[in-house]
Amino acid sequence: MLPLHGLTVVTLEHAIAAPFASRQLADLGARVIKIERPGVGDFARGYDQRVRGMASHFVWTNRSKESLTLDVKHPRAHALLKRLVLEQADVLIQNLAPGAAARLGLGWEALSAEKPGLIVCDISGYGEDGPYRDKKAYDLLIQSEAGFVSVTGTPDEPSKAGPSIADISAGMYAYSSILAALLNKQRTGRGQHIDISMLESLTEWMSYPLYYAFDGASPPPRTGASHATIYPYGPFPTGGGGTVMLGLQNEREWAAFCDKVLLQPGLATDARFAGNAARTARRAELRALIIEAFAPLSAAQVLERLEAAQIANAQVNTMAEVWAHPQLQARQRWREVASPVGPLPALLPPGSWPEEPQMSAVPALGQHTDAILAELGVAAAEIAALRAEGAV
């Protein structure tokens, strides 16, 4: 039995942060009931059509959930939603606009008065109070506010991260906070209000650049894919148009790199490059020497030398190469999940359990509406009437 088997999570979620958090709970066996707007659903369903007509973000964050369509502003649908939360939910997760859940009577104060053991997790851009409370918050904007963009990119151009890291960080802190709240509930019987801010989540992940720039010091420079303060550490071109990624951490590795990779053992004692600070200060000069040494070699030959010298290295893989990554294949990390467009591959969640994680279908919009409402005792004729009114 998976650890969260028997737990019911109701979500008023869209986009990435909240769906990513609730999918982690589903992976561990929770039943996740996703409330979606009739006819439209989570707007992430419409981001693109890259997965056989389905949206890539939605497929990634919404497997193993049940989709219940309700117009939460319709009086009868709203009453059913509140019944569902009070009668069945152990956890409510929402990332509606700030204050929207409270206006619907689905905020922590209203719900906890009726159900003290309920855990309510609110996810927003900036938190439930403060001067930025009502400011719109998308992933790129939070990456900017948290300072991530200022230290990412090239010297000439700042850059955002490829994945939605502000959303992901908030989703993971929501997930871990909910697990902690469940443990606390076991001990005390009390529920918990969890207020997750995307800004605070990503700022926590910015701790190294923040402390590097402590007390007015200059921040780490933008250095593309290279490390800002350790060198050599980053991508280097090879012959034939290839690229390898490598990283050195200490003087022992620097000596091995000079001897076994560059085949220039005397460089290890060259005063110009004595210590990481010196190598970082003269990175342009050292980079030219490395590129010159790699020019006659293919990427495979450079990687072979790096492995022999026990220098950390990696290929710069494309997405196609990650799908076929030999390590993921060898560890049998891929599974298939059902979807409205047929079976799709899905990566096993990180970590290991004796039982397989729950990896069931990506739901069609409203796929489980009739079944969930029937659980609440709603007759088929009433469901039909609600559907005719656009309430479900």
- The torsion angles phi and psi of 122, rounded to 5 degrees, stand at -100, 130
Q: Give the Cα separation of 21 and 168 in Å (integer).
A: 8
Whether 129 sits among the annotated catalytic residues: the reply is no
Q: Nearest 10 degrees: CA dihedral of 138, 144, 147, 149?
A: 110
| DSSP-based helix, strand, coil % in the chain, nearest 5 | 45, 15, 40
Strand partners, 51: 54
Which helix (H) or strand (E) segment holds residue 31: the answer is: strand 31-36
* Beta carbons within 10 angstroms of residue 131's beta carbon: 7
For 53, half-sphere exposure in the C-beta direction (CA atoms, 13 angstrom radius) is 5
Look up tokens 């200022």; give the residue.
150
Residue of 245, 243, 217 lying closest to 233 (CA atoms): 245
Whether the CA torsion 382, 384, 389, 392 is positive or negative: it is: positive
Q: Classify residue 220 by its DSSP letter.
A: P
The residue from 42, 167, 195, 270 that is catalytic is 167
Parallel/antiparallel/unpaired status of strands 312-315 and 243-247 = antiparallel
Buried b (16+ CB within 10 A) or exposed e, 348-387: bbeeeeeeebbbebbbebbbbbbebbeeeebeeeebeebe
**Could you give the residue numbers annotated as active site?**
167
